[in-house]
């Protein structure tokens, strides 16, 4: 198949498959999320260093922890299934204690292991705190599940905060000022409401997503970030101190597949086919092809039965014989005789003009043609031959009468 024979809609299908394939492979690469960031910050250090400053050469002030970026990742330390050993019932709700679970309100979890079916099943959790959450089991459910519960949920999400922190030891002294090294650091913050240990550095500010981020959330490709998350805390720091950050929301799995698919569609579905049309056809748009004859409305005509031939009667035979006799009689009266073909006695043939003699090209003299004696050939057929063959000289001499020898 030539590349020019591929139509636009086929390129669009190919581009979508390429984009989904690349996004899927990219999401499943075994990548260390903290690669290049060897040091880990505690929550207290993060809150302190993100607002603290120091003076560098030239009198410029810099933050101890700066150049921050945020990504939404899966917690590498989390296990999908956790065990709950402490359960207290409050009306129709059961409160489950699970330290640092990372769940959010409305998230669905699967619970198994109870001796009573009221505690087993899939539940949308509520009343979420950092170390507990509640499920609705009903008023008639027992106060205790009767056994330890197993809670299964997708690997929990975490906010990965990255940045560079000032080194503890000074590298050198330049113009009376200490010059410090910077070390990449990271911090994993639970997905959900962030509760700072030292309070806010200023009035609370809500993080405002970009226009593109809101579009992906409206299309339900990306889930909205929970209220009061670490994004709001960083927005408050930025408004109070000027220490900014960037949210890499497009690195989430579903968003990444959508971005790769959109990019592949633009290039392989729109730009590349246009370049092919220019190279092959000399135009931006592929010329229209002649439509083939459609057989959709063609209806088959029913075959009619062959008309049976009539039988030959005796009268037909008599008529045929009469025609034959009449034809023979006419042919007998038009016989051409040899006398009719003989020319009359006074017929004279005109003599043929003699051709001019052939001249020699060099001497311009007439060429004398010497008549050649024609050799006599004798043909005969023997018994078993299919056609006569020439007899040799020996056979001809044998048939000639012998002359008597002189005595």
Kindly report the CATH number assigned to the domain that includes residue 145. 2.40.30.20
For residue 260, give the nearest of 12, 3, 26, 63 by alpha carbon: 26
Alpha-carbon span 223 to 213, nearest angstrom: 10
Tell me how long the chain is: 407
Is 295 inside any structural domain? no
Domain-terminating residue out of 251, 279, 310: 251
Shared domain for 175 and 149, answered yes or no, is no
pLDDT per residue over 306-338, tens digit each?
666 667 788 888 888 888 888 888 887 765 555
Shared domain for 99 and 169, answered yes or no, is no
Crossing angle between the packed helical segments 8-27 and 253-264, to the nearest 10 degrees: 150
Is 323 inside any structural domain? no
pLDDT per residue over 84-104, tens digit each?
989 999 899 999 999 888 788
Shared domain for 218 and 95, answered yes or no, is no
Shared domain for 146 and 162, answered yes or no, is no
DSSP structure class, residue 165: E
Is 126 inside any structural domain? yes
What is the model's pLDDT at position 261?
94
Residues sharing a CB contact under 8 Å with residue 249, sequence separation 6 or more, in sequence order: 72, 209, 213, 216, 222, 255
What is the model's pLDDT at position 340?
52
Shared domain for 68 and 208, answered yes or no, is yes
Domain-terminating residue out of 210, 233, 251: 251
Is 222 inside any structural domain? yes
What predicted TM-score, i.e. pTM, was given to this entire model?
Answer: 0.57
Is 62 inside any structural domain? yes
What is the model's pLDDT at position 55?
80
Shared domain for 137 and 194, answered yes or no, is no
What is the model's pLDDT at position 132?
92
Is 403 inside any structural domain? no
Shared domain for 162 and 112, answered yes or no, is no
Is 117 inside any structural domain? yes
Range of the domain at 110: 81-154
pLDDT per residue over 33-74, tens digit each?
778 888 889 999 999 999 999 887 667 788 999 999 999 988
Total number of domains in the chain? 2
Shared domain for 142 and 225, answered yes or no, is no
- Residue 34 token pair: 């903290």
Shared domain for 138 and 183, answered yes or no, is no
Asked whether the beta carbons of 390 and 378 are under 8 A apart, the reply is yes
Is 358 inside any structural domain? no
CA–CA distances in Å: residue 367 to residues 353, 359, 370, 374: 19, 5, 9, 21
Asked whether the beta carbons of 96 and 134 are under 8 A apart, the reply is yes
What is the model's pLDDT at position 47?
93
Domain-terminating residue out of 224, 251, 278: 251
Alpha-carbon span 271 to 255, nearest angstrom: 23
Lowest-pLDDT choice from 119-133, 192-206, 226-240: 192-206
- Residue 29 token pair: 């690469």
**Model confidence at 291: pLDDT above 80:** no
In three-state form (DSSP H/G/I as H, E/B as E, the rest C), the secondary structure along 292-333 is: CCCCCCCCCCCCCCCCCCCCCCHHHHHHHHHHHHHHHHHHHH
pLDDT per residue over 2-25, tens digit each?
777 888 889 999 999 999 999 888
**Model confidence at 341: pLDDT above 60:** no
Shared domain for 88 and 191, answered yes or no, is no
What is the model's pLDDT at position 284?
83
Q: What angle do CA 43, 49, 55 make, to 5 degrees?
A: 175
DSSP structure class, residue 147: S
Shared domain for 171 and 244, answered yes or no, is yes
Question: Mean pLDDT throughout 232-255?
Answer: 93
Shared domain for 183 and 36, answered yes or no, is yes
**Model confidence at 229: pLDDT above 90:** yes
Alpha-carbon span 186 to 70, nearest angstrom: 10
For residue 122, give the nearest of 97, 156, 150 by alpha carbon: 150
* Residue 394 pLDDT grade (very low, low, confident, very high; cuts 50, 70, 90): low
For 195, phi then psi, to 5°, come to -115, 100
């Amino acid at each position: 198949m030539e590349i020019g024979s591929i139509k636009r809609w086929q390129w669009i299908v190919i581009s979508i498959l390429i984009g989904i394939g690349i996004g899927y492979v990219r999401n499943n690469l075994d990548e260390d999320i903290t690669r290049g960031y060897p040091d880990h910050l505690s929550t207290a250090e993060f809150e302190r260093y993100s607002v603290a400053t120091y003076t560098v050469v030239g009198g410029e002030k810099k933050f101890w922890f700066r150049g921050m970026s945020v990504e939404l990742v899966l917690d590498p330390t989390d296990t999908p299934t956790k065990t709950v050993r402490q359960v207290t019932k409050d009306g129709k709700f059961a409160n489950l204690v699970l330290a640092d679970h990372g769940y959010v309100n409305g998230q669905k979890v699967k619970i198994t292991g109870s001796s009573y079916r009221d505690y087993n099943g899939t539940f949308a959790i509520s009343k979420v705190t950092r170390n507990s959450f509640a499920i609705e089991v009903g008023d008639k459910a027992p106060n205790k599940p009767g056994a330890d519960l197993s809670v299964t949920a997708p690997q929990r999400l975490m906010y990965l905060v990255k940045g560079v922190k000032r080194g503890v030891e000074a590298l050198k002294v330049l113009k009376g000022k200490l010059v410090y090294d910077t070390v990449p650091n990271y911090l994993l913050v639970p997905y959900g409401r962030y509760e700072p240990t030292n309070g806010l550095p200023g009035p609370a500010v809500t993080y405002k997503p970009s226009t593109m981020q809101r579009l992906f959330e409206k299309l339900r490709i990306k889930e909205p970030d929970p209220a009061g998350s670490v994004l709001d805390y960083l927005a408050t720091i930025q408004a109070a101190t000027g220490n900014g950050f960037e949210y890499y929301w497009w690195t989430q799995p579903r968003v990444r597949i959508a971005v790769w698919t959109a990019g592949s569609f633009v290039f392989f579905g729109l730009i590349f086919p246009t370049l092919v049309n220019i190279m092959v056809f000399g135009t931006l748009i592929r010329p229209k092809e002649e439509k083939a004859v459609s057989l959709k409305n063609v209806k088959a005509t029913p075959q009619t039965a062959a008309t049976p031939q009539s039988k030959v009667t005796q009268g037909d035979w008599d008529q045929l014989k009469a025609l034959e006799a009449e034809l023979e009689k006419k042919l007998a009266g038009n016989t051409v005789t040899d006398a009719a073909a003989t020319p009359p006695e006074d017929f004279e043939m005109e003599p043929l003009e003699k051709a001019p003699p052939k001249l020699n090209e060099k001497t311009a003299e007439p060429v004398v043609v010497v008549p050649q004696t024609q050799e006599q050939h004798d043909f005969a057929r023997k018994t078993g031959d299919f056609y006569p063959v020439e007899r040799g000289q020996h056979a001809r001499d044998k048939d000639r009468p012998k002359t008597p020898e002189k005595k």
